Amino acid sequence: MRSGYTNDFLPGFFIEMPTPNLAVQGDILQPPGLPEGKVVVPYIHYSLLMSKSTKQALCSAANVDNSKQQTISGAKGRKWFIDDRVGKEHQIINDAYTGTPWDRGHLTRRTAVTWGDYSTALAASNDSCAFTNACMQHENFNEDEWRVPELAVANFNMAKENRLNIMTGPVFTLCDRFFTKGPGFDPVRIPSGFWKTITYVDANSGELITAAYLFFQDIDTLKTKKAKQRIQLRNFRITTTELQLWTGLQFDKQMFDSNPLKFYSGPEAVKVTRLKDLSDPTEALLAAGIAETAVMEEARTLIELDKLYELIDELSWY
């Protein structure tokens, strides 16, 4: 029953789960309850990759069918559990959440996977409450800013057959905070932010479209629970290239080509305000907004991080 995320869920397209790049490959957990070499942990309608160092998921990917949604109350479908396949020692459990301001923040949202017949939806609701699918989210962030992209998924109505691929995960940085309850309690790493992608086939054009979002769990977001009333989701959009650099994950090529915010591909996404060194051909083509497929491929994989940040400083986004 736990078939997990499937790559052929969107009509006419195959979209693979993200895979770790060399920088994070060594941090991917080999779950002791899975066969050797199988690192993707499947659940009902979603799958995830676990980090050894943080004991939290690096990515959770879900198939969502909004046309077959069932209403499952939290009382019936919210039973948090330790996944024995992953091992208790490899996941953050209730000790870190009980009596603290930190919520068990769903990566794949519970109500996103409650679709299909009622029994399947109920089982999926419970399956979403694995501790492996939770990350340390401050209660003010979890109940405020993070609700904005979650509600966008729930209310989405532009997809062919109402089908969506939703991927999400934490962002860990050199500036991460750690939470501890005191002596004898292993410190828990707090994600600096969270990302989410929505990929779908447009019901009118038949084209594949991807939107990527990044929210930081910083001091400003923790001050209030009223931000969701005024923030606009489009202001948190980023390129798939940026997302890849933030996460250390490699995304399906089609998620680059279908994300209209492509700093490397054309005038519809960027406006150049100032040019610096154009001696490098890739940087020159990027800055000019003129890039062929080969150059786009090169930019995704070869551009250095400091050059990317310099380039982003020169761009003004719509």
Exposed / middle / buried, residue 115 (Cβ in 10 Å: 0-12, 13-18, 19+):
buried
Left if phi > 0, otherwise alpha if psi is -120 to 50, otherwise beta: which for 99? left
> How far apart are alpha carbons 251 and 68 in whole angstroms?
27
Which residues lie closer than 8 Å to 186 by C-beta, 6 or more apart?
Answer: 180
Strands (E), the chain: 19-20, 41-42, 46-50, 57-65, 102-106, 134-138, 163-171, 177-179, 188-190, 193-201, 208-216, 237-238, 249-250, 270-272, 315-317
CA 123, CA 138: separation in Å to the nearest integer?
Answer: 27
Q: What's the token pair of residue 308?
A: 């990317």
Residue 21 marked in a binding site: no
d(CA 142, CA 242): 23
Report the alpha-carbon distance of residue 143 to residue 228 in Å, rounded: 9
Q: Active-site residue numbers? A: 106
What residues are designated binding site for Mg(2+)?
142
